[in-house]
Every structure is written in structure tokens, then in C-alpha cells.
Structure 1
């Protein structure tokens, strides 16, 4: 089994009386495509917010390749190789596609800007739209641009929050091919409600329920897990 690149132990975040993330243990293995699933209110978005540093942990630890990053702010985690693309598209609508990615590249390193931007745009099949104003892209293309911005950071870990939401079926096929092309150089963690995408893509799946870790396993193991069926797969597929 590949080495653990990102690890959480007893990770906890409460909001008032709500236990959004309640003592979760989690391991992300190098080169995996790891899906995070669970019913509405399971705590998935809060959990990846804790991993990326956008939300501070109340207790517990997070380590990246053995280094404790629990107290590091989000921008410092980006520099260490954790890129997080958001559930709501976060492109700059008035800037060109090229300039959106250029801003991301500048955050990452002092690389030669033009080639680095075009390489990232080529990965997400948007090189021919480099001069287009980002706000005029279709929703699906804006999601791809957002991924290009994440990839421009050359992350060790790419965290994707609902990446296929709003994509047409043809775009989903392209998205799956893109994700497969990233590993093993990049490790991928995705929150995803489309179970066909999860079962097809994920090498490992973790299920959260009511802020707690319910199960981790392969697609076949998760499908066959009675506790997961009760909590999620057998029930309604609510949106987060």
C-alpha cells in the first residue's frame, strides 16, 4: 500500500451545539483518488475545510508527509502543496481565462508565467480559450478553469468539492479522464454526490455520517457495508 501523505487524528470542529466534525481519523494515501461521501449534514465540506486550513480545528492533529500542519493557515498549506477548489465556482469573472490561472501560478512559485499557465490550461482542455473572459464561459467550463487554477499550483494533493455538479454527461466523462491523468503524481480527494462517478473513479472511499467516520474501503467494500447502506446508499441522495 502506498505511503500516507495526509493524515488526520481525532479531528474535531463544533459550531455551537452542532458537531460538524466529531473526532475523525482519516488517512490519504499517495497517488490515490479518494472520495468522501455521506448524507446531507455529514460534515464533508467542514472536514475538507479543516484539511485545507480554511477552517481552524478545535482539537486533533493534521499531518502532511509526517509534518504537523494543524495550525498552519490555508495560504501556507497551499505552498506546501494542498490545493482546494471550492463548491461554488471561484473564478474572477472579469479577467481572462489566462489571467485567472496566472494569479494561481503566482501564488505557487516564481516560475516562468506563460508556459506554466498554458500547461495548466492544456491539462483541462481550455488552452484555446485563454483570451476569453472567464465570466462568459459555460458553467462546466468555469468548473474546469477552477481545476486548472488548482493544477497550476502543481499540488501534491488536490481537494475537489462537488467537481461534477452542473456538468453535462459528456463533460463528466472528460472530467473522469482528467482526474485519472493526474495520478499518481497528484493525490486527489473529492467530495462527490454522483455515485456513478465515485464508484467508477475512487480507489478508496470514506463515508462520514453526522460528523463521524462511518467506513473507509474500496468501492466494493463500501457498497457491501450494511452501516453505509443504512446511513446513505439505501436512503435518499440529498445534496449537501
Structure 2
């Protein structure tokens, strides 16, 4: 059984099918890429998975449990984390306190200080724990957002455009970091940087006009003529 599964998801806006009958599976311990041209339906699809908006048709399960009707906060408590797109950083609070707030709002179980310390260690921010978040560099802010997501102790972590604005060296570090999250955490990666997707993802789903255009390994996606015409520009 897939860790996260969607079947027949549909969502229309003003007669336009933003997501039109999408099936999707995320396996335990997998890094799964989600790509597609602008307007393909990626943001709407991820919003359906995370509970930010409700589907008009279809079903979503997490570890076999139907979560279709659950709001976003209830999905977080069941292990579905969504970061980078909607994470709220409090610039006047310390790095430590920002992560502590995420623990308190999520499914964190155990000693608060230990959970925060573990999340900061995972992203390499232990030395900055007492710094005000508002003083961090852009790259460190991204790492803080990731630490806040990891502090939720997710089973699934959705990363939405995580490398946007990062320098090349920071991207290399991010790739190594995300690879190290598995198999404990399964990752859905929405990313325009194709080099990052091709290096990290075991499988890739391509959306176009709200529908699944292709699914497969990076090699299969590279070789898919329909994907080349719609997105890769080959």
C-alpha cells in the first residue's frame, strides 16, 4: 500500500479544470518529483493533498486512512507536512523559538528541546539557534523553514520550490540534505530546477492542463516525447 495515495482528484475554478482526475502514489521512503509547465495544476494539486483546499471529486489516503475531508492542521498531526510555500517565519523570534512553535503546532511527541535540537542539527543550524530569524541570510531562512517542517516529525514532507533563490553551492547542500531525510521521511518535491529533480527523484509525475501527462523514472521522463514537447523543450 502506498504511503500517500490520491485517486480521481478533481478541482475546477470557474469552469476550468485545474486538476482533472489525477491519480498519484508516494511510496514509503521515496523522493518523488512533481513537474509541469506553469498553469499545469501543480499548486492546486498540492493544495488538495495538504488540505488547503477540498477536492470536488476523488479520494486521498495516508497510510490507508481516508484524509480527504480533513483540514490541513489535522493532516499535519497525522504526519503530512508542507513547507517552503506557506511556512510563517517570525523574524523577531530566535531560530530556536521558531522551530519550537512548529513543534507545538504539529505532531511533535517527546521533549520539546530535544525535538528542536534534532531538527536544527538535521539542517546544520545548531550554531545559529539563538540568532533572530530576521537576521538570517536567505539560504539560512530556507534551512530554517525546512527545520520547522522536520520538527513536525512528518511521514510525508512536501517541498514546494525549495531551491528558488538559492546559490549553486546552497543547492548542492540542499540536495545532500534532502537525500539524507529518507527513508525516515518520504518527500514530494515540486521544483522547476530540472537538474535538482533529476538528481533527487526516484520517480517523477508530470502534470499538464490538470492531468497526468507522464509518470516514471527520471530516465523515462527524459525520453518521453510528450514531456519533451510540453515541458522540457527538447
1:9 corresponds in structure 2 to 7
1:95 is the counterpart of 2:93: yes
1:4 partner SS: coil
Aligned to 2:167: 168
- 1:117 and 2:116 aligned: yes
CA distance in 2, matches of 1:135, 1:22: 40
Shift of 1:33: 0.4
The CA deviation at 1:111 is 2.1
Aligned pairs, how many? 233
Aligned-residue offset at 1:90: 2.8
Distance in 2 (alpha carbons) for counterparts of 1:116 and 1:88:
21
- 1:25-174 residue pairs with structure 2 within 5 A? 25-87=23-85, 90-107=88-105, 108-174=107-173
Aligned counterparts of 2:50 and 2:126: Cα–Cα separation in 1: 28
Question: What are the ranges of 5 or more consecutive residues in structure 2 without an aligned counterpart?
Answer: none
- Cα distance in structure 2, aligned partners of 1:224 and 1:206: 14
Q: Counterpart of 1:54 in 2: which secondary structure?
A: coil
What is the TM-score when the length of structure 2 is the normalising length? 0.97
| C-alpha contact (below 8 Å) 1:89/1:143 kept by paired residues | no
- Given that residues 35 and 190 in structure 1 are in contact (C-alpha distance below 8 angstroms), is that contact kept between their aligned partners in structure 2? yes
CA deviation profile, 1:128-178 (whole Å, cap 9, x unmatched): 111111111111111110000000011000000000001111111110111
**CA–CA distance in 2 between the matches of 1:15 and 1:92?**
33
Cα deviation for residue 86 of structure 1 reads 3.1
- Secondary structure at the aligned position of 2:3 is classed as strand
Secondary structure in 1 matching 2:90: coil
The residue aligned with 1:190 is 189
- Corresponding residue for residue 209 of structure 1: 208
| Residues 42 and 209 in structure 1, CA contact (< 8 A), matched pair in contact too | yes
Distance 2:169 2:132 in 1: 23
CA distance in 1, matches of 2:27, 2:110: 28
